[in-house]
Amino acid sequence: MKVLLIDDHALFREGLGGLLKRRGVEVSACSSATQGIDRASQIQPDVVIIDLRMPGIDGVQALQAIKQQNSEMPVLILTTSDDARDLKDCLQHEASGYLLKDMDPDDFVKALNKVVNGELVVAPELASTLASIIQNRDKEGDEEEKSIFSCLSPREYEILGHLTEGQSNKVIARHLGIADGTVKLHVKAILKKLGLHSRVEAAVLAANEGIFKDER
Distance of alpha carbon 58 from the chain centroid? 17
| Contact call for residues 129 and 82 (beta carbons, < 8 A) | yes
Confidence of residue 22 (pLDDT cuts 50, 70, 90): very high
Q: Which domains does the chain have, with CATH numbers?
A: 2-132 (3.40.50.2300), 140-209 (1.10.10.10)
**Chain segment 51-91, per-residue pLDDT in tens:** 999 988 999 999 999 999 998 899 999 999 999 889 988 98
| Contact call for residues 193 and 151 (beta carbons, < 8 A) | yes
| Contact call for residues 172 and 162 (beta carbons, < 8 A) | yes
Share of the chain above pLDDT 90, in %: 55
Share of the chain above pLDDT 70, in %: 91
Pairwise CA distance, residues 95 & 67, whole Å: 9
**Chain segment 121-176, per-residue pLDDT in tens:** 999 888 888 877 776 655 444 444 445 787 888 888 899 989 888 888 999 999 99
Task: Write down the pLDDT at residue 140.
Answer: 44
- List strand residue ranges (DSSP E) for the chain, in order: 2-6, 26-30, 47-50, 75-79, 97-100, 121-122
Q: Residue 121: beta bridge partners?
A: 97
Task: Write down the pLDDT at residue 213.
Answer: 56
Task: Write down the pLDDT at residue 144.
Answer: 46
Long-range contacts formed by 104-113: CB under 8 A, 24+ apart: 105/19, 108/78, 109/19, 109/20, 109/23, 111/76, 112/1, 112/3, 112/20, 112/47, 112/49, 112/76, 113/1
Task: Write down the pLDDT at residue 203.
Answer: 84
| Contact call for residues 1 and 26 (beta carbons, < 8 A) | yes
